[in-house]
Structures are given as structure tokens and as C-alpha cells.
Amino acid sequence: MNIRKRMQTEIVTLQVNEPLANAVEATASEQIRHLPILDGDRLVGMVSDRDIKQALPSAIIEGNKAEYDRVLRETPVRRIMRVSPITVGPSASLADVIRLMLDHRISAIPIVEGGKLVGLLTDTDVLQAFLELLETLE
């Protein structure tokens, strides 16, 4: 089974110099956990909700709101992104992608074709595929 049928093709992305505030807004408003980061139309990194949480100042530590807002506005996502993400082409098998996800302990893989981002496969997409398979076997 190849991933072309399983990958998400409507993907929220950010440009490499966008502020961290945009990543916070995108993950919250779109209810997503992974943001491919582009430089023009070329994939250069990935940011997860976990990366965002680690980059934000702690709410527990005394601080002022102005400083918190400054960090959100002035920190570009390139400072927190994971560079050179593992990618596959749309003809990759689901089994191969699952192996990559397990081996590298990642929960999303960008799908690239001809140097351009064409999709994203997440652990949720993989679970959906297995659920459908199990339902057909029952």
C-alpha cells in the first residue's frame, strides 16, 4: 500500500522567517501538531507542537507579558525548527514510512515530489489506515 492515498494534501506551512507567534496560532487554530517550514517553496524544516512548547518562556517563572509577547513576535521559526527533515516520495510504501517513523521516533513525515512538498503523513493517518484494515477483517 503506497502512501499517496493516505497522505494529507492540504497542509498548513510557515515560511522560515515567520515569527513563533504564527506557529503558536497555526497549531492552535488548525488543531495540528506538525508544521512544515518552507524557504520559498523548498522544505527546510519541521516544527512540532512540542518544539513550540519547549521554545516558549515558562508561565511558572515570574516574568512580564511584554517579554513573553516579544519572544513570540521576534523569534523566527527557523530558530526552533528541526532542519533537514526525513522525507519520502508519494510512491513510498506505508510499511517503509512506518519503519522510518519508528526508527527515528517521529510522528510525521513530509512527502516531497520534484523538490516540492506535496503531502504530510502523520501517526494519526497511519492509525486511521490500520483501523480501516481491522474493520474489514472483523
pLDDT tens-digit series, residues 113-126: 988 999 999 999 99
Beta-bridge partners for 116:
113
CB contact set of 68 (below 8 Å; sequence gap of 6+): 56, 57
Give me the pLDDT at residue 112, please: 95
Tell me which of 19-23, 35-39, 75-79, 130-134 is least confident: 130-134
Nearest to 129, CA basis, from 2, 6, 4: 6
Residue 64: φ, ψ to 5°: -105, 155
| Contact criterion met (CB below 8 Å) for 98 and 126 | yes
Instruction: Taking residues 39-62, report their average pLDDT.
Output: 86
pLDDT tens-digit series, residues 80-107: 999 999 999 999 999 999 999 999 999 9
Nearest to 12, CA basis, from 97, 122, 136, 103: 122
Task: Map out the domains of the chain with their CATH numbers.
Answer: 3-137 (3.10.580.10)
Q: Measured in whole angstroms, how far is the alpha carbon of residue 3 from the centre of its chain? A: 17
